[in-house]
C-alpha cells in the first residue's frame, strides 16, 4: 500500500534544510538533544495540520478543476528543483544557529507555514489519500513515523556542531548531497504530471 517512492521522497524532503530543520538544529546547539526532544511533537502536529488542510482543499477543488493536481505536481517539481539549486548555491554560507531559544509554539508555527506541507499534499501523498480515509491514515502514520528520526538527526547535528568535534560533518556536504537527491526526485514527479496531461 505504501510505495518505496513515497518513503524515499518523504525522507529526502524532510532531510532538506529549511525553516523547521534550522530551528531544530538551533535548539540542538543551544539546549542539547534531551531538551530539544520536546519540539518533535510540535513539528509532527504542524505537518499533520498543514498537509491535511492542503490535501483536503486540493481534493475538494480538483473535482471542479481536474487539471489542478497535475498543475500542482508540476509546480511542486519546480519547487523541488528550486530548492535543489538554492541548496547547492548556498552550501558554503553559514546558517545562523544562534537564534533565541526555540519553544514548541515557534516550531509549530514555522512548520504550519513551511511550503513543504503543500509539496507533500500536492505531489508526495497519493491523490486517493484525500478521498479514502484508510489510505490517508496509513500514509500519514508512515509520514509521522519518519519525522521522529529525521528531527532527531537535525537536533543531533546542531548538538554536534556546538561541540566542534566532528570535522567531516559540514553543512556544505549535507546541502550538496540533499541538492543532488532532490534533483533526482523532481524528474519522476514532473514525468508523472506530464503523462496525465
CA distance 37 to 165: 22
CB of 194 within 8 A of CB of 33? no
Single out the residue of 143, 154, 91, 102 nearest to residue 119, CA to CA: 143
The pLDDT of residue 99 is: 57
Q: Residue 68: which pLDDT band, with cuts at 50, 70 and 90?
A: confident
- Interval 124-165: pLDDT, tens: 999 899 989 999 999 999 999 999 999 999 999 888 877 766
List all residues 6 or more positions away from 188 whose beta carbon is below 8 Å from its beta carbon.
5
Rg (CA), the chain: 17
Most confident of 2-6, 60-64, 137-141: 137-141
CA distance 56 to 160: 39
The pLDDT of residue 96 is: 55
CB of 139 within 8 A of CB of 75? no
Mean of all residue pLDDT scores within the chain: 83
Domain ranges of the chain: 18-77+95-165
The residue behind cell 528543483 is: 81
Output the 3-class SS for 10-74.
HHHHHHCCCHHHHHHHHHHHHHHHHHHCCHHHHHHHHHHHHHHHHHHHHHHHHHHCCCHHHHHHH
Q: Which residue has the higher pLDDT, 88 or 196?
A: 88
Question: Read out DSSP for 129-176?
Answer: GGT-HHHHHHHHHHHHHHHHHHHHHHHHHHHHHHHT--SS--HHHHHH
- Interval 72-127: pLDDT, tens: 778 777 877 777 787 678 767 665 555 557 789 888 988 888 888 888 998 899 98
Q: Which three cell numbers stand for residue 54?
A: 492542503
Amino acid at each position: 500500500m505504501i510505495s518505496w517512492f513515497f518513503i524515499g521522497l518523504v525522507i529526502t524532503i524532510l532531510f532538506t534544510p529549511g525553516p523547521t530543520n534550522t530551528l531544530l538544529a538551533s535548539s540542538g546547539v543551544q539546549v542539547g538533544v534531551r531538551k530539544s526532544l520536546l519540539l518533535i511533537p510540535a513539528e509532527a502536529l504542524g505537518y499533520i495540520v498543514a498537509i491535511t488542510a492542503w490535501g483536503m482543499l486540493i481534493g475538494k477543488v480538483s473535482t471542479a478543476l481536474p487539471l489542478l493536481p497535475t498543475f500542482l505536481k508540476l509546480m511542486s517539481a519546480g519547487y523541488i528543483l528550486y530548492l535543489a539549486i538554492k541548496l547547492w548555491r548556498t552550501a558554503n554560507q553559514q546558517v545562523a544557529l544562534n537564534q533565541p531559544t526555540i519553544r514548541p509554539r515557534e516550531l509549530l508555527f514555522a512548520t504550519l507555514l513551511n511550503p513543504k506541507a503543500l509539496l507533500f499534499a500536492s505531489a508526495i501523498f497519493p491523490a486517493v489519500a484525500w478521498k479514502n480515509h484508510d489510505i490517508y491514515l496509513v500514509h500519514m502514520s508512515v509520514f509521522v513515523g519518519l519525522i521522529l528520526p529525521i528531527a532527531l538527526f537535525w537536533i543531533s547535528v546542531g548538538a554536534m556542531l556546538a561541540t566542534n568535534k566532528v570535522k567531516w560533518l559540514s553543512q556544505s556536504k549535507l546541502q550538496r548531497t540533499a541538492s543532488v537527491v532532490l534533483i533526482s526526485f523532481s524528474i519522476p514527479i514532473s514525468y508523472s504530471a506530464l503523462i496525465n496531461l
